[in-house]
Amino acid sequence: MVLELARARPVWQIMFSTHHTDVGLLYLIFSLLAMFVGGAMAIALRLELFAPGAQVIGDAMDFNRLFTAHGTTMIFLFLLPSASAVGNYLVPIMVRYKDMAYPKLNAIAFWLIPPGAALVWLGMADFGWYANPPYSVISAPAPAAEMWIFGLKLLGVSSILGSINFIVTILKCKHPDMSIGKVPLLAWSFLSSSIIVLAAMPTFAAALLMLLTDRLGASGFFNPAVGGDPIAYSHLFWFTFHPEVYVLVIPAIGMMYEIIPRFSRRPIFSHSSGVAAFVILSIVAFASWAHHMFATGMSFTEKTVFMVGTLAAVPASAMHVFNFLATMWNGRIKFATPMMWAVGGIALFFAAGAGGVVNTAMPLDFITHDSYWVVGHFHLFVFGTIAFGTIGFVYYLFPYVTGRMYNEKLGVVHFILAFVGACITFFTQHILGLFGMPRRIYDYPDIPEWVAMNALISIGAMIILVGMVIFLGNLIYSTAKGKPANMEDPFGLGGKYYYPYEQRNPHH
Amino acid sequence: MSEHDETIYRTSPGRLGKLMAILVGLIVVGSIIFFALGDYWISELSPAGMKFAGITDEVTAPAVAQTGEDIPVTLDFIESSDFRTLAFNALPGEPGNNPTINAKVGDRIIFNIVNAGKSFHAFGVTLDDEGFGGILGGTAVALPNSPLKPGEGGASEFVPGEPGTYYYICTVPGHRAMGMVGTIIVE
Amino acid sequence: MAHSNWAEWIYVAVVVALLVYVGAEAWNIERIIDHAPEDAEIIKVTAQQWFWSFEHEDGTKEVGELHLKKDHAYKFELESKDVIHNFNIPEYVVLLDAVPGRINTVWFSPTEAGEFDIQCREYCGLIHYNMRAKLFVEGA
């Protein structure tokens, strides 16, 4: 167990440590901070959109900068680092090795993130997290745009370095008695997502550089005024970011593979099915990127190819859902907080996937493209599945990291508020999208259905806010003064809490 | 295995407080830097953007010294209620709509500009007879990318060095085409 | 562990069957609607920050509004003067990007008379939220 510590350590020693548990702690603290910052931005957006007319945000430029920062923060500063946090804590333990393969590189990968965040948050560019040209080349103001580009460069490098570390640790540093097939599914999820990052991220790194040189007037890749093609950027961007959404979801599914069998007190229904599903998903993830571009004027053949590629990824995700449900079937389930979050996450994952199938059916995409349907759809994934899985895992990991138990009642309340709030917010957004409301708009006309649904969505967001405030309070109070946890079995499940391998922090 | 409990260090409120202080402190410092510099972060256009909008460092008409009289002009940006028609001072058909300014070479026209509408506007004088580019140096009040909000205003000057027909326009793309243009006839 | 996996295989087969159905149906419908009819009247649509302008075949220009006739096929040729916009008539499911540097085409045939909204469906800057126009379909 990590907490074999005898006494407090100086803060600087933790900050500059290269041990995987310390780096994991840094990632965890940063990602939770970013979650609350990004969440505050979302609340500002929803307060503004509560009714037509200006409410709390004075003008469209501020609104545009806020939604750009919200998206960038949540994806790059919350979801990716929180996955790295979990991976750093557990992957070395799962493969029975003493640390990550490259501890110093690990620390560097973390420390690239705060400067990247500073650049993004100080600049607050306004072009949405996609940064589509030509707007991002000729129209988006400076220096905010350049700061965003440099910030994302740093974050991309961090992601790549972290991925290299995970791949080498899992493939090369695993215990000689452990065959690759026996590696736990959470570690498999990090292996899959890291391989996707290595294959996909360099494309975006190139696109960012090209965007920068275009802005400086030194090149004309995406600027039609000098002979470029803006759709080229869309291809490069989505070639990275469609697989990237799988990079986001796969670790969360891996986290559910830890929680669900333990709290159902049954082994996973089929370990090999889980491995196969991860491998298939990682490959097919690359076949569907241009489903984000159906409305750019692609030919019928191109659209068909990407529709098929998108549909091909669905069975692999469906296999995970089956695995979870089959694991829970006939289990002696203990519905503690982590389990609630995992199960809620599976339900919303299923809903998100179903909505996605609608989007990929080509003619239907022309109803939903760039409307609030898409906003609802992807939030069901990033919040309903990934954040649910992550938050559930934070509760699960809490005794492991802090040695204390969080307040279970507050954890349950948090879950109920988040689940109810998510359903109200994101399902209503689907319907709002069907009624035609575009996304990324600061204000909207007085159409009665839009007004009513926007008000309902904002109320749902406030419900989520209350839950998150409770979460923050629970985290802080329980870390300082929570009841010391029974480190052998904090959740009272009646088995070994964690992996039977002892792990010691070398500083003690 | 319960002796493990004794060897485990669980953090104290003091240490946690230190962590929270560091994190909150970072956010506060960052916010101060962000807000103190205000619009600096979005104040410029990229070089490619400036080229696209035709904004260059040179002045497209030579600056001259004032040899004539001062002509103060007040121009208000106004909009029709459906936002389809835009104009200066009065809507088309009403007296005072887009007033023509007459001047002689060397006169100094002092523009007093106010945004009396609900949308965003910016001002400039150009020789181009269509479009929103070619703004003469010194004549601009606000820019399309950081325009005048409702109620805001500003002033600028124009000293014509050559006779001809100039246009004063709203430089936000599209607004000239929707009616925000007037002529300056210089003899 | 030895346990039978038949339930999982059946489940995957059902999922795949549903997806094949959705894919085939979508492919078929898109194939039918992808091409504009020969006799569609061409309307040039120009998108720019932050308004729409239209030009009919006979040269008539309209800014911010568009007058069309019911039960006529119209083909929109979309172009943009600056950044990517997206021409959208939500009530008729007309939606396509206006990309600077190329001309995209989308067609429809309005079946009902009345007033409909035209909006921009791709973020294009400060007044993207208000880049709206009105479609008037005159019927008889």
Say what the pLDDT of residue A502 is: 45
Our CA angle for B140, B143, B146, nearest 5°, is 145
Mutate which: B3, B28, B31, B42, vs A, most A CBs within 10 A? B42
Q: What is the largest CA-CA distance in chain B?
A: 100
State the pTM of this model. 0.89
SS (H, E, C) A164-232: HHHHHHHHHCCCCCCCHHHCCHHHHHHHHHHHHHHHHHHHHHHHHHHHHHHHCCCCCCCCHHHCCCHHH
Domain that holds residue C89: 41-138
CATH code of C110's domain: 2.60.40.420
Q: Which residue has the higher pLDDT, B62 or C103?
A: C103
Of B52, B145, B178, the CB nearest to C51: B178
Q: How many beta carbons lie within 10 A of that of residue C19, not counting itself? A: 21
Residues C21 and C51 in one domain: no
Residues in chain C: 140
Summarised one tens digit per residue, pLDDT across range A266-282 is: 889 999 999 999 999 99
Residue C64: list chain B partners with CB under 8 A. 84, 178
Distance between CA A299 and CA A162 in Å, rounded? 38
Q: How many beta carbons lie within 10 A of that of residue B99, not counting itself? A: 16
Q: In this structure, are residues A91 and A166 in contact, taking their beta carbons and an 8 Å threshold? A: yes
Q: In the CATH scheme, what is the code of domain B59-186?
A: 2.60.40.420
Residues C82 and C29 in one domain: no
Window from A218-232, B159-173, C88-102 with minimum mean pLDDT = B159-173
Domains present along chain A, CATH in parentheses: 11-481 (1.20.210.10)
Instruction: Using CB atoms within 10 Å of the CB of residue A435, give its burial: 0 to 12 exposed, 13 to 18 middle, 19+ buried.
Output: middle
Window from A114-118, A139-143, A497-501, B151-155 with minimum mean pLDDT = A497-501
Q: Which residue has the higher pLDDT, A448 or B66?
A: A448
Say what the pLDDT of residue A508 is: 40
Residues C130 and C109 in one domain: yes
**Looking at the predicted structure, is the pLDDT value of residue A72 above 80?**
yes
Q: In this structure, are residues A75 and A248 in contact, taking their beta carbons and an 8 Å threshold? A: yes
**Looking at the predicted structure, is the pLDDT value of residue A372 above 60?**
yes
Summarised one tens digit per residue, pLDDT across range A3-52 is: 445 577 888 888 899 999 899 999 999 999 999 999 999 999 999 999 99
Predicted confidence band at B1 (pLDDT cuts at 50, 70, 90)? Answer: very low
Residues C71 and C55 in one domain: yes
Residues C30 and C68 in one domain: no
Residues C56 and C112 in one domain: yes
CA within 13 Å, CB half, B118:
10
Residue C97: list chain A partners with CB under 8 A. 295-297
Window from A146-150, A288-292, B55-59 with minimum mean pLDDT = B55-59
Residues C109 and C133 in one domain: yes
Contact partners, residue A312, CB within 8 Å, separation at least 6:
A284, A287, A288
Say what the pLDDT of residue A501 is: 42
The chains found to touch B (3+ Cβ pairs under 8 angstroms) are A, C
Summarised one tens digit per residue, pLDDT across range A102-114 is: 999 999 999 999 9
Residue A480: list chain B partners with CB under 8 A. 11-13, 16-17
State whether C130 and B173 contact (CB < 8 Å). Answer: no
Say what the pLDDT of residue A422 is: 97
Q: Is A123 helix (H, G, I), strand (E, B) or coil?
A: helix
Q: Which amino acid is at A452?
A: A
State whether C64 and B178 contact (CB < 8 Å). Answer: yes
Residues C123 and C82 in one domain: yes
Query: Which residue is closest to B147 within chain A, CA to CA?
Result: A61
Residues C74 and C104 in one domain: yes
Residues C19 and C72 in one domain: no
Does B118 contact chain A (CB < 8 Å)?
A: no
Residues C26 and C74 in one domain: no
- Could you tell me whether strands A141-142 and B44-45 are parallel, antiparallel, or unpaired per DSSP bridges? antiparallel
Summarised one tens digit per residue, pLDDT across range B84-95 is: 788 999 988 888
Predicted confidence band at B6 (pLDDT cuts at 50, 70, 90)? Answer: low
Please, what is the average pLDDT of chain C? 91
Please, what is the average pLDDT of chain B? 84
Residues C90 and C23 in one domain: no
Mean pLDDT along residues B16-42: 93
Residue B23: list chain A partners with CB under 8 A. 29, 33
State the complex-level ipTM.
0.93
Mutate which: C11, C14, C16, C19, vs A, most A CBs within 10 A? C19
Structural domain count, chain C: 2
Q: Where are the domains of chain B?
A: 3-36, 59-186
Mean pLDDT along residues B41-47: 87
CA distance A5 to chain B (A): 5
Does B45 contact chain A (CB < 8 Å)?
A: yes
Portion 48-107 of B in contact with C at CB < 8 A? 52, 83-84
Predicted confidence band at A504 (pLDDT cuts at 50, 70, 90)? Answer: very low
Portion 343-382 of A in contact with B at CB < 8 A? none
